[in-house]
Structure 1
Amino acid sequence: MNFQPRYWLAVGALAGGLGLISGCAGDPPDPRIEFTERVNKELTTAYQPSHDETAGWGAVWQIDQQSVDVAWLAPTNHERLPLIIYLPGLGEPASGGAEWRKAWAQAGYAVLSVQGHAYDQSIFASQQAQYGDFRGMASSHYTAAALRDRLSTLQKVLAEVRARAAKGDAQLAAIDWNQVVVAGFDLGAQTAEALAGALEPGATSGVAIQPKAVLLLSPYVEADAGQDVFARISAPVLSMTGQNDEDPFNWVSSYRQREVLGQSVTAAGSVQLELNKATHKTLSGTELFNRPAKKADKGSAPSGDAPKGKGHKRGAKSGGDFHGPVAGEPAPDPKQVAAIQAVGVAFLDSRIKHNPAATEWLQKGAPGWLEGAGRLK
């Protein structure tokens, strides 16, 4: 296999340099610098993907009088690119999942992230959130009606992407619509599952795509879901969960419930990664560390802390600051982050690019490399 340790060291050096700059003016040391170095050290012995320079943007599109948060990240090589449609979790903006989107884009994929305003971080300003009723707040977002709303929004966004490409947007024109992956975390995983064929009764997507692969972080499974629901998915699936994947909304009761999806999928080439230490927050790939507090912030309450009340569960977030780990969660484990990144990219390269080195690593290299971090099933 083609190992490229210099690439990961270069990425680590760049991230470290940026962190040092942000750590000036009396701010405390940024723990993300050391963490990034530890993740990259783990990655030097994992599957080595190609590395592309990337560029991206974020915007709010007004579609049918609805505000939709859209983020784009892709290689700058002007080649035809497979497209990953990424759907963030409940309470996240389109910029969510940054750790994974960056890795996918660097590996040669265009990544389009979409989040409607009704499901982004603005939900934490609701009265239910202020009272700590996070389960009650989540209940209205996982319904069949809410799922249809997200699917309809995505259909309109993809139509807008095609229209902009036709009008001369060179970045969007590079999309290879015959090589589409759907990926999602948490609530976004529910949407991705529907797009892949696991539709709830009465739900219709109307989105004219046939995904070649499906990547699910903390997959969504209803308590009474039968295996036949997920057996409808015809594309290979990578589902990732683990023993500490605790939903902060207390909506999915156990990671065992999430594992039902991986156990039920019958599509050839499907893989389930069960992680030993990855929390729900780690699987999100979003701001895995709090920003270090400035001196003036000392004594103030952490922004991730939520008011305790009805339905409060360890880790639930409240309104103002979306960034940082969920309150009460341990610091992320670098091996867990490396595992999500390495297995995810290898899966994509194996199933989309048909890279034999990626397939070989998944089958032979990954189980030993994971060691005590988790297991592939």
Structure 2
Amino acid sequence: MKPIATRLPSLGLAAVLIFATSSVTRADAVNRYAQGGPHAVRVANDAWRDAARDRSVAVRMYVPQGDGRFPVILFSHGLGGSRGGGSTWGSHWASHGFVSVHLQHPGSDESLWRGRDPGDARRALRAAMSGREFLERNADLAFVIDELVRRRAAGDVSFRSADVARIGMSGHSYGTRTTLALVGEHIGVLGSNPERRIAAAIAFSPAAAGPDADYAMRFGPIAIPFLSITGTADDDVVGNGSTPENRLLPFAHMRPSGKHLLVMREGDHMVFNGVPRLSRLDPVREEIIFRFAKAASTAF
């Protein structure tokens, strides 16, 4: 029995090993992390105003209930998405004791396609893959971290259990561009400018977008623990040339220590958005992929 991909130690340490038959080693550990955790979860929506940029960032927060100090995970949606993206991941992580904060990025969110004919929507989506929106997204994350710290210090009841000294980052698709940039990817003249308050990252459908370059120079500066999750059918959906093979490049060119890769058979691009029934997959295959993605990301 040959695995689809393996760069991960046993689930008890970091993640999960998926086989072509969907069987796994350490099934007990997979079950532990794939099942909902012990915490009830409160979901709350808000919009936070960044006065310095005259910009409002909508957020959806999945907050575990109970005593304790819970690490924070920030989630950045893909192109044309919303704070509703990653709902399966956010609710699951919260049940296991993480405060999951999902951002909505104005200018690269669902406003690009809602109420537009398909041709206009495609043009708007392509236009949003710009340097300006890329930088705005990065600034959104820095602002949200600042706001979390401020609200926690001010005694905001929603964040009194949030451990803002332990922050992780995640994203899907275009949100992985944001994730990679914030954890140290070297981007042309911008260089490498990691957000030092982010301690680990999970990327759903990462890619090495842009022209071929010295990938070791681009991804080598990433020095924090990093989990890449993708699938054998994780193809291009916006016309940027991404392929399932291309999505392995960030992992391949990161430093040897602290990086992990999970590749799932038949996993397509939209299943990793973490919203049920958005992908082309049948419900059974979708649930299998959700199960192992939840297990790996939670254990990591």
TM range (shorter): 0.7 to 0.9
Unpaired runs of at least 5, structure 2: 1-9, 13-26
Q: Which amino acid aligns with 2:243?
A: S
Superposition pairs of residues 1-377 of structure 1, within 5 angstroms: 46-49=30-33, 50-64=37-51, 65-125=54-114, 130-131=118-119, 134=122, 136-203=123-190, 208-222=195-209, 223-225=211-213, 226-286=215-275, 288-289=276-277, 325=278, 329-332=280-283, 333=285, 334-347=287-300
Give, in whole Å, the separation in 2 of the partners of 1:206 and 1:261. Answer: 17
Deviation at 1:45, TM superposition (A): 6.7
Give, in whole Å, the separation in 2 of the partners of 1:211 and 1:159. Answer: 12
Give, in whole Å, the separation in 2 of the partners of 1:227 and 1:140. Answer: 28
C-alpha change, 1:340 and 1:190, in structure 2 (3 Å) is same
Give, in whole Å, the separation in 2 of the partners of 1:117 and 1:201. Answer: 24
- Is residue 182–residue 195 contact of structure 2 (8 Å, CA) maintained in 1? no
In terms of fraction of residues, the more helix-rich structure is 1
Local SS of the residue matching 1:119: coil
Deviation at 1:47, TM superposition (A): 4.5
TM-score by length of 2: 0.80
- Is residue 155–residue 206 contact of structure 1 (8 Å, CA) maintained in 2? no
Seq. identity, %? 22
In terms of fraction of residues, the more strand-rich structure is 2
- Is residue 149–residue 164 contact of structure 2 (8 Å, CA) maintained in 1? no
Local SS of the residue matching 1:241: strand
Deviation at 1:133, TM superposition (A): 6.3
Give, in whole Å, the separation in 2 of the partners of 1:110 and 1:204. Answer: 30
- Is residue 58–residue 95 contact of structure 1 (8 Å, CA) maintained in 2? no
Alignment: residue pair count: 268
Unpaired runs of at least 5, structure 1: 4-42, 290-324, 348-377
- Is residue 110–residue 175 contact of structure 1 (8 Å, CA) maintained in 2? yes
Q: Which amino acid aligns with 2:85?
A: G
Q: After superposition, what is the alpha-carbon deviation per residue over 1:246-282, rounded to whole angstroms, capped at 9, x for unaligned?
A: 2321224311111101111115231111111111111
Deviation at 1:183, TM superposition (A): 0.6
C-alpha change, 1:268 and 1:207, in structure 2 (3 Å) is closer
Give, in whole Å, the separation in 1 of the partners of 2:100 and 2:74. Answer: 6
Based on CA coordinates, which of the two structures has the bigger radius of gyration?
1
